[in-house]
């Protein structure tokens, strides 16, 4: 594909496409993708790395005006807004990609799962991670999982406690953590303390002496200082025993504070980075690996942008989410082919681009030179056979209007508590009036009717008009 296509039928104009434009829609509607075999193939083609570092993030396929598409939810979008808020309706997909420590934008996607609007993002991420660990070779190094600040670090650590995996999650700069309480004095009574000294990320006076410190020089970020405090835990709000009045679980981890001298872009002053790390008991924390692993997490965003803008991931407009899932797996397979062809594709650079050595081409350049390689390799697909002309829709048949599906809004995690309003002075308290005689029971209107149609008495020119239900009957 030489350039980004604007619609799905335009793919049929490519020289390698040997079928009609309608076959593209038929493939998405009635095609079949062996997802498990494709996942195994993607994992088996991962580049060698020690240790394996994976990034997990959620991105949205915008479907704002697709009222006939089910399972749409409201998700965050960085550039598109609705009613002044960065929220759009669409399908959310959770990607898992392997990261590398080379200075390029290449990653290795291994999984992409569509999230239902009512699914828990942390629990679904744990499910995907367990499936990924089952495909990795046994006896290898402990893999690292890197998450952004939108994930719950304690919940992920709790869900993946039984797996040999290290979790690295970014935390906000205003979070609070707690150390273990000191031992109780002999003869003490009452409930034992569960939380010790408070650690406030925004208050340096609450920071104890770091358990480990690393200071190094980097050619991109200058002087890098990493401080670590181990054995801290948050006050967990979401846990399996929530609502049972049982004790909250204590999830311990290590808090990292990363401070750099400068950033490569030099467009804004650098900010302090707070990270949460938790791993197996026999795994020693490498501070140099920790901060570099999170810095490489941004390569996943480059991969998602390349899939959307160049590979045309979100350009098709399928109605059903199953069709979007098939197209998503096709895009992941195409990206894997580009990554594997990185070392053998000839550089088809533009006149104003700088030459690069073989094996160091960007994804856009590899995509630009891939058609020449595809002509030499050929296609494993069979030659299409003519099937005649389709009879089309039977005469006189009607499909009828399609079913509308409103976007699903996530319920609040914790119900809002309404504070009771304090009573006012006796002279200003509202007098208790008896209910009007024209109530819903008197007018014969069903209970639970919309409040806009409920019986309301309106005074016009000194006369009391009848209820809204009577007006509807009178003027009907």
Mean pLDDT calculated for residue range 217-246: 86
Query: pLDDT digit string (tens) for 336-387?
Result: 999 999 988 888 888 898 888 878 889 999 998 888 888 888 777 777 777 7
On whether both 54 and 159 belong to a single domain, the answer is: yes
Q: Would residue 73 count as lying in a domain?
A: yes
* Spacing of C-alpha 20 from chain mean position: 35
Indicate if 124 and 154 belong to the same structural domain: yes
Please tell me whether residues 19 and 127 are part of one structural domain. no
Is the pLDDT at 96 greater than 70? The verdict is yes
Are residues 18 and 166 part of one domain? no
Q: How confident is the model at residue 94 (pLDDT cuts 50, 70, 90)?
A: very high
Q: What pLDDT does residue 449 have? A: 38
Q: Is 51 found in the same domain as 85?
A: yes
The segment with the largest mean pLDDT, out of 6-20, 234-248, 310-324, 353-367, is: 310-324
Same domain assignment for residues 18 and 59: no
* Residue 331's CATH number: 3.90.350
pLDDT in tens, 191-201: 888 899 999 99
19 and 97, same domain (yes or no): no
Which domain-ending residue is among 285, 315, 343? 343
Pair (5, 38) in one structural domain? no
This prediction has a pTM of 0.82
59 and 10 housed in the same domain: no
Question: Does residue 177 fall inside a structural domain?
Answer: no
Query: Which helix H or strand E contains 322, and what residues bound it?
Result: helix 321-340
Same domain, 246 and 262: yes
Whether residues 76 and 8 share a domain: the answer is: no
Distance CA 371, CA 378 (A): 10
Query: For residues 62 and 315, is the Cβ–Cβ distance under 8 A?
Result: no
Say which residue, 351 or 145, is predicted with more confidence. 145
Which domain-ending residue is among 343, 368, 388?
A: 343
Q: What is the DSSP string of 181-229?
A: PPPPPTT--SPPP---SEEETT-GGG----SEEEEEEETTTEEEEEEEE
pLDDT of 440 strictly over 60: no
| Angstrom distance (rounded) from CA 270 to CA 67 | 43
Q: Is residue 269 part of a domain?
A: yes
Q: Quick one: pLDDT band at residue 171, thresholds 50, 70, 90?
A: very high
State the total domains in the chain. Answer: 2
Domain hosting 8: range is: 1-29
Q: Is residue 335 part of a domain?
A: yes
Distances (CA, A) of 47 to 99, 100, 113, 314: 10, 9, 22, 27
Across the chain, mean pLDDT equals 84
The CA distance from 176 to 171, in Å, is: 10
How many CA atoms, within 13 angstroms, populate the side-chain half-sphere of residue 72? 21
Residue that finishes a domain, picked among 343, 374, 400: 343
Average pLDDT for 255-270? 89
Average pLDDT over residues 146-166: 94
Q: Does 186 fall in a domain? A: no
Q: Which of 95-99, 165-169, 266-270, 429-433 has the lowest mean pLDDT?
A: 429-433
286 located within any domain = yes
Q: What is the pLDDT of residues 101-144, one digit of tens each?
A: 988 889 999 999 999 999 999 999 999 999 999 999 988 899 99
In a domain, 463, yes or no: no
Asked whether residue 422 is assigned to any structural domain, the reply reads no
CB-based contact 95:110 (threshold 8 Å)? no
Average pLDDT over residues 402-407: 92
- Give, in degrees to the nearest 5, the angle at Cα 282 between 281 and 283: 95
> 337 and 275, same structural domain?
yes
């Amino acid at each position: 594909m030489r350039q980004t296509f604007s619609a799905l039928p335009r793919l049929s104009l490519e020289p390698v496409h040997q079928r009609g434009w309608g076959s593209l829609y038929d493939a998405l509607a009635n095609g079949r993708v062996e997802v498990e075999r494709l996942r195994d193939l993607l994992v088996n083609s991962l580049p060698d790395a020690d240790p394996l570092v994976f990034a997990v993030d959620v991105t949205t396929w915008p479907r704002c005006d697709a009222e006939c598409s089910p399972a749409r939810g409201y998700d965050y979008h960085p550039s598109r807004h609705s009613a002044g808020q960065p929220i759009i309706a669409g399908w959310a997909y959770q990607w898992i990609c392997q990261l590398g420590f080379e200075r390029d934008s290449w990653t290795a996607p291994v999984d992409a799962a569509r999230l239902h609007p009512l699914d828990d993002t942390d629990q679904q991420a744990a499910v995907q991670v367990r499936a990924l660990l089952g495909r990795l070779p046994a006896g290898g190094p402990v893999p690292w999982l890197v998450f952004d600040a939108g994930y719950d670090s304690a919940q992920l650590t709790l869900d993946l406690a039984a797996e040999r995996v290290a979790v690295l999650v970014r935390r906000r700069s205003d979070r609070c953590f707690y150390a273990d309480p000191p031992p109780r004095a002999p003869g003490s009574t009452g409930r034992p303390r569960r939380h010790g000294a408070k650690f406030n990320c925004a208050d340096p006076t609450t920071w104890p002496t770091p358990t480990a410190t690393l200071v190094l020089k980097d050619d991109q970020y200058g002087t890098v200082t990493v401080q670590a405090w181990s054995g801290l835990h948050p006050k967990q709000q979401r846990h399996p025993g929530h609502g049972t009045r049982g004790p909250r679980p204590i999830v311990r981890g290590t808090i990292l504070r990363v401070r750099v001298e400068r950033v490569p872009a030099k467009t804004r002053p650098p900010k302090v980075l707070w990270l949460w790390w938790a791993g197996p008991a026999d795994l020693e924390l490498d501070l140099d690996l920790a901060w570099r692993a999170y810095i490489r997490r941004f390569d996943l965003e480059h991969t998602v942008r390349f899939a959307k803008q160049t590979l045309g991931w979100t350009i098709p407009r399928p109605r059903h989410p199953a069709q979007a899932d098939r197209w998503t797996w096709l895009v992941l397979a195409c990206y894997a082919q580009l990554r594997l062809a990185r070392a053998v594709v000839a550089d088809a650079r533009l006149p104003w681009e700088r030459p690069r050595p073989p094996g160091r081409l960007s994804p856009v350049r590899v995509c630009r030179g891939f058609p020449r390689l595809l002509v030499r390799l050929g296609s494993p697909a069979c030659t299409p056979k003519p099937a005649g002309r389709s009879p089309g829709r039977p005469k006189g048949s009607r499909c009828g209007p399609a079913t509308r599906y409103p976007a699903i809004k996530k319920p609040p995690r914790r119900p809002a508590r309404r504070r009771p309003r304090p009573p006012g002075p006796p002279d200003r308290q509202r007098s208790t009036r008896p209910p009007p005689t024209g109530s819903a029971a008197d007018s014969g209107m069903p209970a639970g009717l919309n409040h806009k149609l409920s019986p309301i008495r309106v005074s016009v020119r000194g006369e009391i008009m009848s209820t809204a239900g009577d007006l509807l009957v009178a003027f009907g």
